[in-house]
Amino acid sequence: MILDAYDLKKFKESQDLIQAWKTTVTSTGSSGDLRRVFPILVAASKDYIASNTKQKVERTLNETDKSVVEIKSVRRISKIQEEN
């Protein structure tokens, strides 16, 4: 997963894409199913987004970790709200 952020103010002024930060997250797990992996990637990276870790950070999470369950719950709540 690669998450890029750009300076919106600069873009509105000059149409130039100025990167503010970039977060790259990889998985070495056994599943290739993004429906299962993506919530884990988001949970693993959420504390580091828009910050400079100055080095590679390794995290080990699985589908039952609290932070992953929270990410999945937000998705379910959003889907329910869309349906209503």
C-alpha to C-alpha distance for 15 and 4, rounded to whole angstroms: 17
pTM score > 0.75 for this model?
no
3-state helix, strand, coil in the chain (%, to 5): 45, 15, 45
The residues spanned by each domain of the chain are: 2-83
Residue 41 confidence (pLDDT) above 90: yes
pLDDT score at 46? 93
pLDDT score at 54? 92
Residue 60 confidence (pLDDT) above 70: yes
pLDDT score at 28? 87
Q: How confident is the model at residue 74 (pLDDT cuts 50, 70, 90)?
A: confident
